[in-house]
Amino acid sequence: MPRVIEAAVPGFSVQGCLSKMAATLPSCQDQPVIYHLRAGEHRIALNERIGEPLSLRWTGAIACTHCGRATKKSFAQGHCYPCFKRLAQCDTCIMKPETCHYFQGTCREPEWGERHCFQPHIVYLANSSGLKVGITRKTQMPTRWLDQGAIQALPILEVDTRQQSGFVEMLFKQQVADRTNWRAMLKGDVVTMDLSAERDCLLNQLADGLNQLRETHGSDSIRTLEAPPQHFHYPVSVFPKKWSRIILTSSHWWKACCKASKGSI
């Protein structure tokens, strides 16, 4: 895999393909989420360097996150075009699981689908800019919530497959949003909520729809959870007063990083 980024902090520098930042929970609930920058095989602990300079230099190369081949343009969060067209994880049903077409015999990678889609999924409520509903594989908790910047999260239902989670999410979207208001989240002005009370209210409002789904997929296909809400704290020293949203291609994004590379983490 070609080296595509060089990251430098005071005292040392590393080079490698940049991946999604790693976020993990601390050992103590009162401590902030722990972040690491991932560049190739390297991991740079960021929490301890907040306020210190960090520079990024893009080498001009882009690598597919799946096969590693060099590509001029990336698709579906970092794939080359052949992988984008071939892989099941790049199909539209990943974003819209209710459209799963496995049983029609048209899944791009049936074995991959069986490993990733035919396993327990969680329907949850989260608060990153207000109440929202979401779905994730059971094994992805709490990573999914940390990636979204949620300050609270509560798993409410467990289902057997990803497609079933999509059906349930569609039902909940009649009453609650499924997206984060990124402007409110970046302001850091998010009020805590009683997620347990919100869950009870939604389950009561949507009881008929959930029962219909159980009749279709099996009485035990949608299971109510009694887990307690989780709370998360983030290592933010100062929330930005001004910000803007810029939609860029991967190459343009890295060029923008280069121009603004000498700043604070």
Positions of E strands within the chain: 5-9, 12-16, 18-24, 34-39, 42-45, 53-58, 121-127, 131-137, 152-159, 222-224, 230-231, 263-264
Domain boundaries, the chain: 5-69+249-264, 75-118, 120-231
Bridge partners of residue 159, in order along the sequence: 121, 222
Which residues have a Cβ under 8 Å from the Cβ of 25 and sit 6 or more positions away? 33, 34, 142, 146, 232
Distance of alpha carbon 27 from alpha carbon 33, whole angstroms: 10
The two structure tokens encoding residue 14: 């590393």
**pLDDT at res. 4:** 62
**Interval 217-227: pLDDT, tens:** 999 999 999 99
Confidence of residue 152 (pLDDT cuts 50, 70, 90): very high
**pLDDT at res. 242:** 73
Confidence of residue 262 (pLDDT cuts 50, 70, 90): very low
How confident is the prediction for the chain on average, in pLDDT? 88
Phi, then psi, of 15 in degrees rounded to 5? -140, 140
**Interval 101-146: pLDDT, tens:** 999 999 999 999 999 999 999 999 999 999 999 999 999 999 999 9
Question: Percentage of the chain with pLDDT > 70?
Answer: 89
Confidence of residue 185 (pLDDT cuts 50, 70, 90): confident
Is 213 within 8 Å of 163 (Cβ atoms)?
A: no
**Interval 90-104: pLDDT, tens:** 999 999 999 999 999
Is 68 within 8 Å of 28 (Cβ atoms)?
A: no
Distance of alpha carbon 21 from alpha carbon 191, whole angstroms: 26
**pLDDT at res. 175:** 96
Task: Specify the higher pLDDT residue, 65 or 29.
Answer: 65
Question: What is the residue-wise DSSP string for 220-260?
Answer: TSEEE--PPPEE-----SS--SS-------HHHHHHHHHHT
Q: What is the CA radius of gyration of the chain?
A: 20
